[in-house]
Structure 1
């Protein structure tokens, strides 16, 4: 038996329509309507979407680089293709066949493998798929796997793990990414209140928890929080000049970063492996831990 049929993402991705489609399944009553009602998790066998022929433009790459701390170069920042994959993730989560509402999905881990540098201006074919849920102590984990190809060559891959809190899926929970003795302390970064809105402007991720205190409070947060993929990108930007061209960067997202706020970044290199962290300067609690290794 093969995997699920791949659906093509057509039209302009993102925007208000995507947000509405993502939010409707979380509204009681509305979530029972045809076209909104979600399929059962027990029958879900996976879902796949694709975006062929996605151009990478100097304007978009420079805007992303400026927000995330990368220098202006002729090649894409290591995490940049995630911007091209995010609309596919949203399309999957908004699809009635996907068994969970997009609102409430928590990004807990992300792994990126860049097989080689990709030139700004390259055209990429991007696809993303999700497998059936797997076990977690607090609910279910969903693995979103993304592949970017250029002229039929796989140049970039990622795996994003999302947690859906609630009923548990049968099976033995995976312990997840573990970084032994991550570095701590280091340099402090002061993050402005509008960082979430700024990053949303270049990433297309307009999740309300990142935008304003009022919209974040409506979803259970005391104020807006930074995007997890911004925190990862900013950490990669701090060490990118020390990384090999073919690299795998893995992170686990821990505590949210509230905006405005201050975080401490630290990095260490041992035997070709870079480990890094974002922590609270107040008590040292981790926001993110990660490692980078040669692919």
Structure 2
């Protein structure tokens, strides 16, 4: 008999007085991870965390801009910076006992960002984060995390991220059938992630570049040599100190031959190269890890961009103008 998935109640809003400290959250999430048994029909926490009165630390903003290649000094937040501001709120939920997926092993597979209007560096913001839903994926279960930034009561920035927990589906269940179809509407379930937060798995394979009889690869724009300390420098400005990003020795403990770059760093670096935009929508898929040190190629044509090396595509995305709501 087929059972209906549980109905998620409306989220309860909980207002915080300060941003949570990331180190205890990451430690708690690591300790709880072995106790969790992920499944697509699990309930997610019905909690919406809100942090009002957020002021931008201009020194931290400048350090983030330098780490990601954005120009410094402008009165505008880089498109990816609100993600960093709200990261502690997301970790507060995902590191908790009620979150059904283990924090260790989560792979950031995709992100969609909408900037409704320019976000100034001297404004005051209200951040909000909640987990939207779980969905079966052919390699496990994906969680959707929703993030918003408001100023003066107006929604100026929002994002939707998907995180994959890898596990086997029970044979013969509807979840298994959906997972074999891709879990996200695709027949091949090709989104694999770039290894962000994935210390238990081998580096996932990436999609090859298009063949000669397929669409032509995007034209190369720039080539970037990446130093071995890229992960440590981004961890210092983002707070994401996952050991797979920090040093070859700690990365090897979790199956990677060398440290890998943060997925959100690769996206930020690509958007810094793409150039400034005001009201935009960005969709990006993280497809394969970037090993450090190494050399990558940034390619772009029209709204599309990608990061690749050799025959591997690490990141693929699009930037579109955002049409304001009527």
User: What is the TM-score with the length of structure 1 in the denominator?
Assistant: 0.87
Deviations 1:248-278 (A, max 9, x none): 1111001100111110001111xxxx10010
Distance in 1, matches of 2:129 and 2:27, equals: 21
The yes-or-no answer on 1:103 pairing with 2:114 is no
- The CA distance in 2 between the partners of 1:41 and 1:140, in whole Å, is 5
Q: 2:283 aligns with which of 250, 253, 262?
A: 250
1:214 Cα offset (Å) = 1.7
Over the aligned positions, Cα root-mean-square deviation in angstroms equals 2.3
Q: What is the CA distance between 1:38 and its match in structure 2?
A: 7.4
Partner of 2:10: 3
Q: What is residue 34 of structure 1 aligned with on the other side?
A: none
Cross-structure match for 1:92: 93
Counterpart in the other structure of 1:160? 161
User: Aligned equivalents of 1:10 and 1:106: distance in 2?
Assistant: 29
1:263 aligns with 2:296: yes
- Contact 1:14–1:204 (CA under 8 A) maintained in structure 2: no
Indicate how the Cα distance of structure 1 residues 40 and 106 shifts in structure 2: closer, same or farther if over 3 A, else same. Answer: closer
Residue 177 of structure 1 and its aligned partner are, at CA, apart by 9.1
Deviation at 1:183? 1.1
The offset of 1:60, in angstroms, is 1.6
Per the TM alignment, residue 234 of structure 1 is displaced from its structure 2 partner at its CA by: 0.5
2:224 equivalent to 1:223: no
Change (3 A) 1:293 1:56: same
Q: Distance in 2 between matches of 1:96 and 1:6?
A: 18
Tell me the distance in 2 between the aligned counterparts of 1:101 and 1:9. 24
Distance 2:22 2:91 in 1: 11
> Is the contact made by 1:184 and 1:277 (CA closer than 8 Å) also made in structure 2?
no
User: Which range is displaced more, 50-59 or 162-171?
Assistant: 162-171
User: Does the CA-based 8 Å contact 1:140-1:167 persist in structure 2?
Assistant: no
For residue 26 of structure 1, give the secondary structure of its aligned residue in structure 2.
Answer: helix
Provide the rounded CA distance (Å) in 1 between the counterparts of 2:125 and 2:237: 18
After superposition, the C-alpha distances for 1:92-141 in whole angstroms (9 at most, x for unaligned) are: 11111100111100001011111111111211111111123102111111
Over 3 Å counting, the alpha-carbon distance change for 1:290 and 1:192 in structure 2 is same
Aligned residue for 2:224, secondary structure, equals strand
Change (3 A) 1:184 1:114: same
Q: Distance in 2 between matches of 1:182 and 1:275?
A: 11
- Distance in structure 1 (CA, Å) of the matches to 2:54 and 2:304: 32
Matched residue count: 279
Secondary structure of 2:288 counterpart: coil
State the Cα distance separating 1:216 from its structure 2 match: 1.2
